[in-house]
Chain A
């Protein structure tokens, strides 16, 4: 690809007779020689190293998913580990969302979907688990924030109250609600308004509420389906920091079409194309020196 010169700083305004002021471009990367063709990624902030060795939570083996006759995911195998963020990237229609939704068997809501291959959670095949129990252990946050038409506290407590068995009273749930909101980083903003309607919150707050709601049931794996695509940059930043913080407690799988976001938050990256898993590896390696040409093309922006 050849070496690129440093991109010039953005032009803000033209002032005549002003002293020229030269600004150094920020140095990107943590020094493993990734200067080839990824200059536009070097401005993204890098994320931290994992704090403890990752523990394998889910194993996907030879997963194939088809809608009717059309194959959406073809023979994909991946591990999902707690302590790290796995990002699924790829152009639209490559099957990453379908793959994500199959992890908590949400594809079964579509009548025409069929699946083969094995997904195991802590060694158990997910098909042998009761589906409601599976979904409490593998939680999901959707692209559009979808808080229920209830108060904030009721929203967060919903999974706990309706999760089976006797319904516990609202006051019993309050400590769990507060804990989940704190883990999601929303508690400080809504501490006084827990009984107000959840739909009054802003978009970013609603999405964090959805994350709190997903965390409240105590999952082992958290699935995020393009959580920031409907949000403004500031909310996006807040949620990305939250994701990085959460990876120590739960295994995080995030689907994103935004390469910069994947670069910022991911530890492992899986690149998919037309239902196939093209490349899987450490984020540094996939973004820095990808093996497959298709990965290189995608990251450089030739298609997608």
Chain B
């Protein structure tokens, strides 16, 4: 009889080590990503210090100045105040995730509990479909349909004139960007929340029904409450997607680095806003110029840190919910 040692045969150990090494390439890649991106991005941060994150000046002009730097390394221009882009990123992602979460929760509850059967059979593939549509298609519809709609019909001439000295209101705006971004992130959230609502133990839902609680109340107080870890996971996933959305927003939310001003009232929503990721895409041709490339790498570094931070935040937010017996998915 063949004897199989506890630690596996020689082949087993080799295979284990090989597979383990392949699996760890992921970790090596992440480490390399952090190291390389920050190394390349460092000069931009070093020259600006904390004012890199501050405001002041026109971002596009600053970027042009960096691009036009003389070729002598001593004379490289690095001055940049990236606040408009950071602000635009936060605004767009924040609006999209918050609106999307509310919309997704309502849709998920509808799909799980209240939708009539034929409607449910249409809605579930519809959600999967929306999640699969590439971002460039969303961008195309946005730029060819929604932007002219807003630019020509919603924004009046007088509105355009009132801010003409600062920025052009041509329809590429915060409104269109946030709206399309909401539609982009909602399907993922719906899918996750629907799975979680369906996974709530039947004992709880039947118990609530048996106590004479109506379906709406039972759904919200029991099922949605039990699905809280999944809702957190969905929000984190959606925020990650929203932060990293480059192409659609480059097409639809304006190509000027402008910070929409909330004091402008309604015009706030019609002003263009270009987030970090879209800025990288818009300026990708200039990467060969050294200081310009380093500035772009700095943008990538900020995005990288944000997404790492998001993963950490998602993990931390789910821990307290384990106390009440809600398993994290």
Contacts and interface: CB of A to CB of B under 8 A. Distances in A.
A13 B153 CA distance: 96
Nearest to B200: A149
B319 interface: no
B56 interface: no
Nearest to B117: A111
A127 to B, nearest CB: 16
Contacts of B208: 148, 158, 162
B226 interface: yes
B222 A159 contact: no
A139 B203 contact: no
B206 interface: yes
A213 B203 CA distance: 14
B325 A139 contact: no
Interface in B14-61: none
Interface string A128-140: 0000111111011
A210 B207 contact: yes
A16 B204 CA distance: 57
A217 interface: yes
B211 A139 contact: yes
A144 B206 CA distance: 11
Interface string A117-160: 00000000000000011111101101010101110000000110
Contacts of A213: 211
A134 B212 contact: yes
Nearest to B207: A146
Contact of B221 (A104, A158, A210): A158
B326 interface: yes
**Which interface residue of B201, B204, B211, B222 has the most chain A CB atoms within 10 A?**
B211
Contacts of A137: 212
A135 B211 contact: yes
A158 B211 CA distance: 8
B326 A149 contact: yes
Contacts of A150: 225, 324
Contact of A163 (B203, B213, B325): B213
A33 interface: no
Given A149-B325, A199-B324, A159 B211 contact: yes
A148 B222 CA distance: 7
Contacts of A146: 201, 203-204, 206-207
A8 to B, nearest CB: 43
B210 interface: yes
A104 B213 contact: no
B86 to A, nearest CB: 39
B201 A162 contact: no
B323 A139 contact: no
Contacts of A162: 208, 211, 213-214, 217-218, 221
Contacts of B323: 197
Contacts of A109: 206, 209
A99 interface: no
Contacts of A106: 206, 209-210
Contact of B226 (A133, A136, A149, A158): A149
Nearest to A111: B117
Given A146-B201, A158-B213, A162-B217, A197 B207 contact: no
**Which interface residue of A104, A137, A162, A199 has the most chain B CB atoms within 10 A?**
A162
A162 B214 CA distance: 8
A132 B213 contact: yes
A214 interface: yes
Contacts of B210: 104, 106, 135, 139-140, 142, 214
Interface in B212-265: 212-214, 217-218, 221-222, 225-226
A163 B324 contact: no
Given A146-B203, A162-B221, A135 B325 contact: no
A31 interface: no
Contacts of B221: 158, 162
**Which interface residue of B201, B204, B214, B226 has the most chain A CB atoms within 10 A?**
B214
A221 B193 CA distance: 37
A214 B213 CA distance: 12
Interface string A95-109: 000000000101001
Interface in B152-202: 201
Contacts of A199: 324-325
A9 interface: no
Contacts of A68: none
12 contacts: A135-B209, A135-B210, A140-B210, A142-B203, A146-B206, A148-B208, A148-B222, A159-B212, A162-B208, A163-B211, A163-B212, A163-B213
Interface of B: 201, 203-204, 206-214, 217-218, 221-222, 225-226, 323-326
Given A148-B204, A158-B213, 15 more contacts: A106-B209, A109-B209, A135-B210, A136-B212, A142-B203, A146-B204, A159-B211, A159-B212, A159-B213, A162-B217, A163-B211, A197-B323, A199-B324, A210-B207, A213-B211
The 10 A-B residue pairs whose C-beta atoms are closest, nearest first, are: A146-B203, A136-B212, A135-B212, A159-B211, A140-B210, A199-B325, A162-B213, A149-B324, A149-B325, A132-B212
Interface of A: 104, 106, 109, 132-137, 139-140, 142, 144, 146, 148-150, 158-159, 162-164, 197, 199, 210, 213-214, 217
